[in-house]
Each structure stands twice: as structure tokens, then as C-alpha cells.
Structure 1
Amino acid sequence: MHEMSLALNIIELAEQAARDANATSITAIEIDVGEIAGVMLDALEFSLSVATRSTLAEEAKLTLHLIPGSAKCKDCGRTFHLSERWAVCPLCGGLSFDILAGKELTIKSIDIE
């Protein structure tokens, strides 16, 4: 389960940011997770709840936002929803597209005290 290593890294980054700001606690962490990032939201949420134990983020409110996948067909220019990395354009059947959104895993905000 790679979500645990992701959670540990997220908490490590949040704690470093809090320490850099001379904070004594992290009250909230907001994370954007792309639909096609290969991350299971439930597993990440559980892993974060474990990873925050005995840290500055132990009492933090954790909020995960699912960012929908989207792509633009290189053949016809249509923008379409992308729920997996391998897809075909729903308009022309093209197999070549640029992924516009949905791959991200980003710490959107960290609230500290």
C-alpha cells in the first residue's frame, strides 16, 4: 500500500512547514488528489489518520478533494472526462490526447497555530 508512504511524506512536509513557521500545531491539512493519480482515497485517508499520530498534526482536520480527470484529444480537440489513463476520445475515437487534470497529488493548504 503506497498510500502509507505518501501519507508519511505529506505529514513530514506539513511538519517541516509548521516548524519553519515556529508553529506548535497543525490544525488542518487540505489535499488535492487527482482521479487518475493512482491513489486510493480511502486508503490515503486511513493512512493519514495513522501517520498523524504523535505528530504536530495529530488533531488536524484532514480534507481530501478529488480532482476529476480530463483530457484533450489531439485529433479533434474535444475535451473529455478521463477516469483512467487509457481511454479513447468519445467524439472521434482517437487514442492520442493530452491529460489536462487528474494526475495531481498536492498539499493545497496547511493551517497552523
Structure 2
Amino acid sequence: MHELSIATAIVEQAAEIARADGATGVASVTVRVGELAGVVPDALHFAFEVARDGTALSGARLVVERVTARAWCGGCAEEFALGMPPFFWCPRCDRPSQELRGGRELEITDVEAVPAPA
């Protein structure tokens, strides 16, 4: 389960961001996960709960924003969803697409820090 190594990296990066901001902990971390990223969101949630124990994120929640895989058809200038399994043929003009526009994302987009007491 490679989601555990991904969750560990998320915890480490979020803790680093919180420290840099002078926070004592993290309330939540938001990540964008594309359909084609090879990450199972439920497994990532489970792995995150394991990885956060004993860290500044021990009470943090993980918010996963799923990103639909999309491609671009140069023939008819149409962007379309690929579906799962991905199908790279344009539904409008029936030509193959050679440009992926989204769906491989795996990125932290927000870290909600717990401020240090005044």
C-alpha cells in the first residue's frame, strides 16, 4: 500500500508548513487527487490516520478533493472527461486525444494550522 508513504509525506510537509507559520499543530490538510494518480482515496484516509499519530497532526483531518481526468481534442477544440478506465477518444469528433489536461494531480492545496497560544 503506497498510500502509507504518500500519507507520511503529507504529514511531514504539513507539519513543516505549520512550524514555518509558528503554529503548534494542524487542524486539517486538503489534498487534490486526480483519477489517474494511482491513489485510492479511502486507503489514503486510512493511511493518514496511521501516519499522523504522535505528530503535530495527531488531531488533523484529511480532506480529499477528487479531480476528474480530462483530455483535450485538438481536432475540434473540445475538452472532455476520460472516465474510468480512461478512454482517450473525443466523444464529439471521434478522434484520439494526445493531450491530458488533468487527472494526475497529487498535491497539498491547504493546511489549516492551529495557532500558537498568545
TM superposition score normalised by structure 1: 0.89
Residues 20-73 of structure 1 show CA distances to partners (whole Å, capped at 9, x for unaligned) of 122111111111111221111111111111111111011012111111111111
Amino acid at match of 1:3: E
- In the TM superposition, what is the alpha-carbon distance from 1:100 to its structure 2 partner? 1.5
d(CA) in 2 for partners of 1:3 and 1:46? 9
- In the TM superposition, what is the alpha-carbon distance from 1:85 to its structure 2 partner? 4.7
* 1:20 corresponds to: 20
Amino acid at match of 2:40: M
The 5 A counterparts of 1:39-54 are: 39-54=39-54
* 1:109 corresponds to: 110
| Number of residue pairs the alignment of both structures matches | 113
Q: Secondary structure at the match of 1:87?
A: coil
Q: Do the aligned partners of 2:71 and 2:88 also contact (CA within 8 Å) in 1?
A: no
d(CA) in 1 for partners of 2:94 and 2:54? 51
Structure 1: runs of 5+ lacking an equivalent = none
Amino acid at match of 2:7: A
Task: Percent identity, please.
Answer: 35
* 2:100 corresponds to: 99
d(CA) in 1 for partners of 2:96 and 2:2? 29
Q: Secondary structure at the match of 1:13?
A: helix
The 5 A counterparts of 1:18-97 are: 18-83=18-83, 84-97=85-98
TM superposition score normalised by structure 2: 0.86
- In the TM superposition, what is the alpha-carbon distance from 1:74 to its structure 2 partner? 2.2
Structure 2: runs of 5+ lacking an equivalent = none
Runs of 4+ in 1 over 4 A off after TM superposition: none
Alpha-carbon RMSD = 1.5
